[in-house]
Amino acid sequence: MKGAVTTPHPLATAAGMAVLDQGGTASEAMIAAGAVLTVVMPHFCGLGGDAVWLVVDRQGVQTCFLAIGQGIDRPIPAEPFPTRGVGAILTTAAVVSGWEHALKHARVTMGGRAHWADLLSPALQLAENGFPVTQSQAFWGDFRASESGDWPGFGAIFRHGNGPLPVGNVLRQPDLARSLRAIAADGAQAFYKGELARRIIDGLRAAGAVIAPADLALTSTKQVRPLALPYRDMTLLAPPPPTQGITTLEIMGILSRFDLSGVKAGSADHLHLCVEAVKRAFLDRGRIADPAFSAQDNMALVAQRLDRSAQDIDNALAMPWPHPWQHGDTVFLGAIDAQGNAASVLQSTYFDWGSGVVAGDTGIIWQNRGAAFSNDQAHPNAFAPGKLPFYTLNPGIALKDGRPHFVYGTQGADGQPQTLSMLLTRLIDFGQSPPDALSAPRFLLGRTFSDSRDSLKLEADISPETLADLSARGHSISLIPAHSPIAGQAGIAQAGPTGSMAWHDPRQ
């Protein structure tokens, strides 16, 4: 059996596949690929961000790593949190901690033998020697061009003259390479307690951020049990709170109450049910928070609501909307190795380009995940030192007969559970191939970073008949381009009897 890797960048996929080709495990492949992504996709993830992992080993043992930075030790801000700049730096960063945790877990449970420095080597070389700027990076650089000129330390790395780096420009990041070299030599502790940690703190403080050495030193990855939901002949896994994994499972649990055998994939019946299930699940999402600070729903409580939510759906009429919108951009990467171990991972700095603040001479952009906290102290997701913020990241694994069958996930904040509802119904209910499921038209409910309307966004390659039928059911529709990047950038890996295969979204 051969292994497979899916990522949004060919250099990251190549790094992950090289690990599998050398007999490495799925988790080890994800460390190498994830490290490369922090270099080649700086607009979506980086060393100054976080990650959420789902891992299932070949024996079917399930685990989840929450590599999430906690709220820093500072007074509770009285004003609404800014989304950019030093005021948005309210949490630490845990992606590096997550890599180390995953490596140790792979050695104990999967027989992993890869060396830490070897896994980080491809990323280090790309940071030092450079790589061509992608269309995705150029798009997001241009999108933020009017504001990024004032971001501390940003322009010297990611701007050229008065504008963003163009497609194909070779981007070298010597400061980031020096940071990666320290981490490769001294392990994750370099990031949290070593000389590099001191330079991170000094750089962030020089920019005006309130962060202390103790904040970094206390950062750790939490290993928890995934949530699980039976769906048709499979079991769907998702990370627990403070992530919105429970939201994805609630959507799929509602859909499980409907017989889709007579429904056509991509029809108005299909999309309407998915949209209405999303609405019901999103109404419950405001309760999600760090369970160490607030009692949280578990799957038993969610299951009690599924029948009621399904009965509330009118097949002929859309529920009125709006609902508060959550922003966020991430990268999804997944792998299944030759032994049948699987890893599903999302890495993120929250918004595109995170806080926009580069930590001094480290080359590290810090995330703005603190902006996901509420400054209402009565809210479950209220800011507190040591607390994990609400998290949109929710990678998934589908088990069949107790073993990994699909590894899946997507970029897209609010869009993540929506995209996953379409992918999973197409894969499981309608038996579509992963390439067909990934390329088919999608929806996105509510506001986006570029459209403030509370409409149902549909990709323009949807059929006219489906469009007319959804409109007749009361959906307020606006069209977005076919294969629009705001409809998610998903990936799927699938285990098979003769080997695994992986695919990534045609959307860029």
Query: Using one digit for the tens of pLDDT, what is the confidence trace for 30-44?
Result: 999 999 999 999 999
Average of per-residue pLDDT across 485-504: 90
Residue 16's pLDDT band, with cuts at 50, 70 and 90, is: very high
Comparison of pLDDT for 365 and 87, the residue scoring more = 365
Q: Is the dihedral of CA 71, 289, 48, 144 positive or negative?
A: negative
Peptide bond into 242 cis (omega under 30): yes
| Predicted pLDDT at 392 | 86
Nearest to 507 by CA among 445, 427, 423: 423
| Predicted pLDDT at 448 | 61
Residue-wise pLDDT for 57-79, tens only, equals 999 999 999 999 999 998 877 67
| Predicted pLDDT at 105 | 98
Residue 187 clears pLDDT 90, i.e. is over it: yes
* Contact between residue 14 and residue 320 where contact means Cβ atoms under 8 Å apart: no
Residue-wise pLDDT for 132-173, tens only, equals 999 999 999 999 999 999 999 999 999 998 889 999 999 999
Burial class for 91, CB neighbours closer than 10 Å (0-12, 13-18, 19+): buried
CA distance 311 to 305: 10
Residue 125's pLDDT band, with cuts at 50, 70 and 90, is: very high
Task: Give me 4's structure tokens.
Answer: 């497979």
Q: Where are the domains of the chain?
A: 4-223+328-372, 227-327+399-504
| Predicted pLDDT at 320 | 86
Catalytic residue among 38, 91, 247, 330: 330
Average of per-residue pLDDT across 15-37: 98
CA distance 17 to 37: 14
pTM score, whole prediction: 0.95
DSSP 369: G
Task: Give me 25's structure tokens.
Answer: 């495990």
Phi-psi map region of 205: left, alpha, beta (phi>0 left; psi -120 to 50 alpha): alpha
| Predicted pLDDT at 424 | 98
* Contact between residue 380 and residue 364 where contact means Cβ atoms under 8 Å apart: no
Rounded-to-5 percentages of helix, strand, coil across the chain = 40, 20, 40
| Predicted pLDDT at 297 | 72
CA distance 184 to 180: 6
Q: How far is CA 300 from CA 13, 297, 305, 390, in A?
A: 38, 8, 9, 21
DSSP one-letter string for 143-196: HTHHHHTTSTTTHHHHEETTEEPPTT-EE--HHHHHHHHHHHHH-THHHHTSHH
Nearest to 395 by CA among 7, 119, 92, 41: 7
Residue 508 clears pLDDT 80, i.e. is over it: no
Report the percentage of the chain scoring pLDDT > 70.
96
Nearest to 124 by CA among 6, 24, 4, 39: 39
Residue 15's pLDDT band, with cuts at 50, 70 and 90, is: very high
CA distance 106 to 114: 9
| Predicted pLDDT at 452 | 60
For tokens 């003259």, name the residue. Answer: 161
Nearest to 398 by CA among 361, 437, 352, 363: 437
* Contact between residue 3 and residue 33 where contact means Cβ atoms under 8 Å apart: no
Q: Count of CB atoms within 10 A of residue 437's CB? A: 23
* Contact between residue 475 and residue 456 where contact means Cβ atoms under 8 Å apart: yes
Residue 328 clears pLDDT 60, i.e. is over it: no
Mapped onto helix, strand or coil, the DSSP state of residue 106 is: helix
| Predicted pLDDT at 140 | 92
Task: Give me 228's structure tokens.
Answer: 């699980």
Is 83 one of the annotated active-site residues of the chain?
no
End-to-end CA distance of the chain: 30
Lowest mean pLDDT among 201-215, 383-397, 437-451: 437-451
| Predicted pLDDT at 327 | 52
Average pLDDT, the chain: 93
Residue 329's pLDDT band, with cuts at 50, 70 and 90, is: low
Residue-wise pLDDT for 408-459, tens only, equals 999 877 889 999 999 999 999 999 999 999 999 999 987 665 556 678 999 9
Residue 245 clears pLDDT 70, i.e. is over it: yes
Comparison of pLDDT for 224 and 378, the residue scoring more = 224
Lowest mean pLDDT among 254-258, 320-324, 453-457: 320-324
| Predicted pLDDT at 326 | 54
* Contact between residue 492 and residue 406 where contact means Cβ atoms under 8 Å apart: yes
Domain 227-327+399-504 belongs to what topology? Answer: Serum Albumin; Chain A, Domain 1 (1.10.246)
* Contact between residue 165 and residue 158 where contact means Cβ atoms under 8 Å apart: yes
Residue-wise pLDDT for 271-298, tens only, equals 999 999 999 999 888 888 899 998 877 7
